[in-house]
Amino acid sequence: MMNGFDKCVRPMALCLMATLLGCASWNTAQNTLIEIETIKPPLDDHLIIHADFEFPPDSLVLEELHTLSADVSQTLQLKLKRTPVHINLYATKKDYQDSVRSPKGPSPLINRRAIFITTAAGSTVHSYWSDSIAVDLRHEVTHAYLNSTVPQLPLWLDEGLAEYFEVAPTENRINHEHLQMLVKANAENRWQPNLERIAPLRLSEEMESIHYAEAWLWTHFLLHSTNKAVLTDYLQAKSRGELVDPLALKIRSEFDNAPQELLRHLDEISKN
């Protein structure tokens, strides 16, 4: 089983708090980045995109990004804070890796397709142009939105929501990679849902592929259930700075048998 750092084929986030890492750990010898002006007035004036290459101003990638905040806000019934989010795009993987390389030595960061860094002033997403750029940016910018609005999200939910919103809006919002992995693992008796197993995880390197998939499934289950308020009320209360019970505990109390209901949900969406 691959761990989080090995899965460079997945667009996972790494939130780096400036107070822990410090600006000095980042390579300052970056390519010149130019701010992109879109032809259409951007829906998100707090989303600032830079690139070191000529970028099509009417790109569908930009269009998806500029509708993401409304998508997240409406789906989660959550008012997002208008904290600036800078997106630094590089033409090649090497340029991207040079921009996030640590002068202290080899870093697992460079094996990720995209990362975001957050500070009190806002968030910055770094990525490079590839066939998965739309998915990668939706994932990381979702992290940026959530991080600025809902403090101290549990890791499993932070990742579950990012995995959910990396999929472009559709009726069922299925992450097919995760769906296929869970169906296969369950059929082979290699996996059963266990929120108590992933809820205590605090570091992204502790999460394996199956953990990301299960985090996505719990998130999908909550957002598409008749009891969606279990999740949305939790997020709203945390965004107001209220003290709330752990979401895993709330799920256990609100559903008669949450693991069995999750498996039924998995079965239902796998048939669609």
pTM for this predicted structure:
0.86
Question: Cβ(127)–Cβ(137) under 8 Å?
Answer: yes
Q: Is 112 exposed, middle or buried (0-12, 13-18, 19+ CB in 10 A)?
A: buried
154: nearest Cα among 258, 22, 226, 245 = 245
CA 209, CA 1: separation in Å to the nearest integer? Answer: 7
Q: What is the pLDDT along the chain (272 residues), one digit of tens a residue?
A: 333 323 333 333 333 333 222 222 334 344 577 777 654 555 577 888 899 988 776 788 888 888 899 999 999 999 999 888 999 999 999 999 988 887 665 566 678 899 988 877 779 999 999 999 999 999 999 999 999 999 899 999 999 999 999 999 888 899 999 999 999 999 999 999 999 999 999 998 899 999 999 999 999 999 999 999 999 999 999 999 999 999 999 999 999 999 999 999 999 999 97
* Crossing angle (nearest 10°) for helices 155-165 and 60-76: 130
HSE, CB side, 13 Å, CA atoms: give it for residue 107.
Answer: 18
Amino acid of residue 104 = K
HSE, CB side, 13 Å, CA atoms: give it for residue 55.
Answer: 25
Question: Cβ(31)–Cβ(95) under 8 Å?
Answer: yes
161: nearest Cα among 250, 75, 261, 48 = 75
CA 143, CA 204: separation in Å to the nearest integer? Answer: 13
Helices and strands, counts by H and E, the chain: 11, 6
List Cβ neighbours of 206 (8 Å cut-off, separation of 6 or more). 3, 4
What is the DSSP code (8-state) at residue 205?
Answer: G
Q: What is residue 112's predicted lDDT score, i.e. its pLDDT?
A: 87
What is the DSSP code (8-state) at residue 132?
Answer: T
What is 15-149's CATH number? 3.40.30
Q: What is residue 272's predicted lDDT score, i.e. its pLDDT?
A: 78
Please give the radius of gyration of the chain, using alpha carbons only, rounded to the nearest integer: 19
Q: What is residue 12's predicted lDDT score, i.e. its pLDDT?
A: 37
Q: What is residue 148's predicted lDDT score, i.e. its pLDDT?
A: 92
Relative to beta strand 47-51, strand 85-90 is parallel
* β-sheet bridge partners, residue 86: 48, 124
CB atoms within 10 A of CB 144: 28
CA 250, CA 191: separation in Å to the nearest integer? Answer: 23
**Tokens (6 digits) for 157:** 């939910």
What is the DSSP code (8-state) at residue 47?
Answer: E
* Integer angstrom CA distances of residue 21 from 16, 99, 102, 247, 249: 7, 15, 10, 29, 32
CATH 3.40.30 domain span(s) along the chain: 15-149
Q: What is residue 245's predicted lDDT score, i.e. its pLDDT?
A: 96
Question: Cβ(123)–Cβ(17) under 8 Å?
Answer: no
